[in-house]
Amino acid sequence: MPALRLLQAPLASLALLAAAGAAQGATEPALDPAQPALTCYTNITLIDGSGMPARPAMAVEVDGERIRAVLPIAALPARTQPGMTVVDLKGAWVLPGLVDTHEHVGTSPNRRVAEANLRRCLYGGITAMRDMAGDARFLAELAREARLGEIASPDIHYSALMAGPGFFNDPRTHMAARGAQPGAVPWLQAITPKTDLRTAVTLARGCGASGIKVYADLSPELIAAIVAEAHRQNFPVWSHATVFPSLPADSVAAGVDSISHAYLLGYPFMVPTPNSYATKLPVDPAKVHEDDPRLQKLFAEMRRRGTILDATLTAYVETDRQAGAKSLGRGAIAERLAAAAYRAGVLISVGTDHAGAPDSPAPALNEEMELLVEKAGMSPADVVHAATQVGARALKLDAEMGTVEPGKLANLLVVAKNPLADIRALREVILTVKRGKAYPRIDYHQPAPDDLDGVW
């Protein structure tokens, strides 16, 4: 029989598993192509992220950063070879690493806070995230270190923001461009009809961004022009649902790849429609009607085009919590509109738009997934699909991640219970594997409040 390293997990030997993952090397250059690091996670029930039913008695073979094979455990004896580490997960549930499609870790750069949040995300099962605008200088540094395994973090794919000139009075843009002029840097660009969009998109790509975020104060014509040029350069465009004065239907018609914030789908019901980001008023819940023909037409067009809704329910629920008795019910509006989109067959991804409480042991993504089940009416299976394959598609990286299949990145989440029966099972993380490297949950230690300088 070939020489094997057999680890029994979960339990105490997860520390050994972490050492085995480290031995594989966190970076591609550390891997020796002549002697690939092989690990086999066996005795699992597999949820592969494609939406297909779970498969018991399965195994996943990992070769360096990539999945080499997905097979029944009965086929393993014929495949084992010298140097392979076999990890018996004792019937645990394995699914693709989760994707958070709406984070902000670089709006007001704070290294210690960012690293604490990123570490919690990774050990909570998130292996990739889309940062939706911040300081690209800071984000590029974090993204590089995350990619190389120098910090414990999901892979970071960040956006470059485009908006009308008036938006750049917003103090957040000044924090994200500190030392430079917001609106005049590649990651925060003011767009007018006179802008050379070919150059603007090229500059956005040059700052390391993975896509363009269309944010505020842009006409339908300008959004369409941005999308056309970005897509010509094979670059995705992600938009706020309402851009002011442009409405969701305008962004969808322009061909954006995803729209963010279910709450913002309520603005077409407001008469008159706010004509700028700065002058917008809250959505009136009494005016929102989920069965309105205009909304149903929008959803039909999103379904036809494959436009993804990045719902971000938890951000609005959190806003209501902080407002207390002064809450305007934004969370309830977002939940109603996300539920209507789901019933209409719109693809929904799982994004948070906030980090969550610093004393929470789980990332905010867990609450978002639970809200999508409990308030938007999604099934746990559909939420798992939304947080894996649909999330990867929102990043235009579904050829690389989002499902467990040969050739894709070895991004895996191991949990103790069945998340298809109860989405809260995703809080019971045993192990995260990112790019083939193992991060056992037992190695996660929550930072003390003093470690975050009192800022979160």
Radius of gyration of the chain, Cα coordinates, nearest whole angstrom: 22
**pLDDT score recorded for residue 23:** 43
Residue with tokens 């390391």: 208
Residue with tokens 């070939």: 2
Residue with tokens 């991060």: 439
The neighbour count for residue 259, using CB atoms within 10 Å, is 26
Rounded-to-integer distance, Cα 105 and Cα 183, Å: 20
Residue 356 neighbours by CB under 8 Å, 6+ apart: 314, 362, 363, 364, 367
DSSP state of 388: I
DSSP state of 446: P
Cβ neighbourhood burial of 381 (10 Å; 0-12, 13-18, 19+): middle
E strands present in 17-154: 38-46, 55-63, 66-72, 84-88, 93-96, 98-103, 126-131
Rounded-to-integer distance, Cα 245 and Cα 219, Å: 6
Q: How distant, in Å, are the alpha carbons of 77, 315, 327 from that of 322? A: 56, 11, 8
**pLDDT score recorded for residue 448:** 74
Q: What is the 3-state secondary structure (H, E, C) of 291-325?
A: CCHHHHHHHHHHHHHCCEEECCHHHHHHHHHHHHH
Rounded-to-integer distance, Cα 135 and Cα 106, Å: 5
**pLDDT score recorded for residue 31:** 39
Which among 60, 61, 4, 66 has a CA at the least distance from the CA of 33?
66
Paired strand residues for 367: none
The neighbour count for residue 100, using CB atoms within 10 Å, is 26
- Local confidence pLDDT in tens for the 456 residues of the chain: 233 344 555 443 454 454 444 444 433 333 344 445 899 999 999 999 998 999 999 999 999 999 999 999 999 887 777 788 999 999 999 999 999 999 999 999 999 999 999 999 999 999 999 999 999 999 999 999 999 999 999 999 999 999 999 999 999 999 999 999 999 999 999 999 999 999 999 999 999 999 999 999 999 999 999 999 999 999 999 999 999 999 999 999 999 999 999 999 999 999 888 899 999 999 999 999 999 999 999 999 999 999 999 999 999 999 999 999 888 999 999 999 999 999 999 999 999 998 988 889 999 999 999 999 999 999 999 999 999 999 999 999 999 999 999 999 999 999 999 999 999 999 999 999 999 999 999 999 988 766 665 555
**pLDDT score recorded for residue 358:** 86
Rounded-to-integer distance, Cα 162 and Cα 200, Å: 9
Backbone angles phi, psi at 45, to 5 degrees: -100, 125
433, amino acid identity: V
User: What is the sign of the dihedral through the CA atoms of 129, 134, 135 and 138?
Assistant: negative
Q: How distant, in Å, are the alpha carbons of 119, 169, 343, 400 from that of 151? A: 8, 34, 40, 21
**pLDDT score recorded for residue 159:** 98
**pLDDT score recorded for residue 1:** 28
Residue with tokens 């498969």: 55
- For residues 419 and 92, is the Cβ–Cβ distance under 8 A? no
Q: How distant, in Å, are the alpha carbons of 105, 212, 224, 308, 455 from that of 163? A: 20, 10, 13, 21, 28
Own/partner long-range contacts of 371-374 (Cβ < 8 Å, ≥24 apart): 371/313, 371/314, 371/317, 371/335, 372/311, 372/313, 372/338, 372/342, 372/348, 373/423
pTM of this prediction exceeds 0.85: yes
Domains and CATH numbers, the chain: 4-95+405-443 (2.30.40.10), 98-394 (3.20.20.140)
